[in-house]
């Protein structure tokens, strides 16, 4: 039986999982009211577009008492607090769509009111997920991101606590790539980089840097696909397997194939350039990259982000985008020719390792999902990522004779 969750369920889950060191939440009834209004607002539209906004459940006194740097965030108070209602949220939502901007909601004269706006100097709902670390402090409060109809993400400061998507509480969800999905799959990156840099095999810290750069690049591309609303199917293939899998009469038939011999090797070259530069300045680690303010490293990072944008565009074309596992572009508009393969059931992973599985009918998703399942069935050494038009993301992998997928939370 499918269970759907509503504001009171969310409030109870938040109270149960709220950090002990955090400022206490209000009563169950008041927290339910706060969430209910946000939920109803998410179902509305503002000038033809779904309401998206950010809100913080906090009073001005709580913010003023928190030991955070003045430059971390600032807030604006309304002369007259506004009614806390779904229609008022709808009207104010354009002002707090940018990440880092929140509506401040708190108790005023014994009722919830919108008393102002909070502007963080950093992207509060993406801290720790991007290339740069920050010492900025987040408000010690409940923060909520309204990302679409019936979709809410709840944070304590920078820590994501739970997510409501498609009527289900996803808990912490899968915010990182599944371990079994990627384990050993990006070995090409650090072996090739090590050879070019004269360091093959790479030392462990540089190896971690290459893997983390690859995952960061993929997160950026997937975030772009989610925001585009077009959806995408991305297939990652080991380079040695391309001759056997790519062709007009093979599993992957590309409408727009890319010339081989390094023509699509933009990302590997950029990653190698970053490692080379970090070695030159003496901090060739993932932490060193995150904290680096070196002009060359920042310039290369910007180019990686642009490359991710190019991938988003190619992934929007009908068909799959095929990459090697070191993110060289193989082709796009790719047809998956595996419809004849018998497949009735796939498995949803219930944990990161993929050791707890739930059987699901293969037709539970759309055309992209079925194509991803079949390509992983036909070629178990390939990986697939599906981005739905509604923004949902699945990772797909053939594991111990089963086609397994991981539902991902937003990036």
pTM passes above 0.95: no
- The predicted pLDDT at position 235 comes to 93
User: What pLDDT is recorded for position 88?
Assistant: 94
Backbone angles phi, psi at 401, to 5 degrees: 85, 0
Full set of structural domains in the chain with CATH: 7-169 (3.40.1700), 179-408 (3.40.1700.10)
Per-residue pLDDT, 115:
93
Quote the pLDDT of residue 57.
94
Distance (Å, rounded) from C-alpha 372 to C-alpha 410? 19
Q: Which residues contact 325 (CB under 8 A, 6 or more apart)?
A: 185, 186, 187, 188, 189, 236, 237, 238, 239, 383
- Residues 29, 31, 34, 38, CA torsion sign: negative
What is the block-wise mean pLDDT of the chain (411 residues), using blocks of 10 residues? 67 87 90 94 86 89 67 79 94 83 89 89 53 60 87 83 71 48 51 49 74 78 76 89 91 86 67 87 84 88 87 89 86 87 84 81 86 92 86 84 79 44
User: Strand locations in 139-251, DSSP E?
Assistant: 142-148, 151-156, 159-165, 168-169, 232-237
What is the structure's pLDDT at 124? 58
Residue 272 CA to residue 5 CA, distance in Å, equals 46
Residue 314, token pair as written in the block: 């190619």
């Amino acid at each position: 039986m499918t269970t759907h969750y509503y504001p009171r369920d969310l409030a109870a889950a938040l109270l149960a999982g709220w950090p002990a060191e955090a400022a206490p939440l209000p009563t169950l009834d008041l927290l339910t009211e706060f969430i209910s209004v946000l939920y109803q607002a998410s179902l509305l539209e503002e000038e033809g577009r779904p309401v998206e906004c950010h809100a913080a459940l906090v009073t001005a006194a709580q913010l003023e008492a928190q030991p955070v740097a003045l430059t971390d965030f600032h807030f604006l108070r309304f002369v007259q607090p506004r009614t806390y209602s779904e229609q008022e949220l709808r009207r104010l939502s354009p002002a707090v769509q940018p990440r880092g901007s929140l509506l401040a909601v708190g108790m005023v004269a014994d009722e919830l009111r919108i008393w102002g706006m909070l502007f963080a100097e950093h992207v509060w709902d993406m801290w720790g997920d991007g290339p740069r670390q920050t010492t900025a402090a987040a408000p010690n409060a409940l923060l909520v991101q309204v990302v679409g109809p019936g979709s809410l993400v709840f944070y304590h400061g920078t820590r994501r606590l739970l997510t409501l998507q498609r009527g289900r509480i996803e808990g912490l969800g899968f915010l990182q790539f599944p371990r079994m999905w990627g384990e050993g799959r990006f070995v090409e990156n650090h072996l090739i980089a090590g050879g070019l840099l004269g360091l093959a095999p790479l030392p462990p810290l540089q190896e971690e840097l290459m893997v983390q750069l690859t995952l960061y690049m993929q997160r950026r591309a997937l975030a772009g696909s989610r925001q585009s609303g077009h959806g995408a199917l991305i297939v990652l293939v080991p380079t040695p397997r391309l001759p056997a899998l790519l062709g007009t009469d093979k599993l992957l038939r590309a409408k727009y194939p890319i010339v081989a011999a390094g023509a699509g090797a933009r990302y590997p070259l950029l990653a190698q350039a970053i490692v080379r530069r970090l070695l030159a300045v003496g901090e060739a680690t993932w932490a060193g990259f995150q904290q680096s303010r070196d002009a060359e490293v920042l310039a290369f990072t910007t180019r990686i982000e642009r490359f991710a944008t190019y991938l988003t565009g190619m992934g929007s074309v009908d068909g799959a985008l095929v990459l090697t596992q070191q993110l060289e572009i193989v082709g796009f508009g790719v047809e998956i020719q595996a419809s004849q393969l018998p497949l009735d059931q796939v498995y949803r992973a219930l944990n990161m390792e993929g050791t707890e599985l739930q059987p699901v009918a293969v037709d539970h998703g759309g055309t992209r999902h079925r194509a991803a399942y079949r390509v992983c069935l036909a070629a178990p050494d390939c990986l697939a990522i599906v981005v739905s038009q509604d923004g949902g993301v699945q990772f797909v992998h053939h594991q111990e004779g089963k086609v397994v997928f991981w539902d991902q939370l937003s990036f």
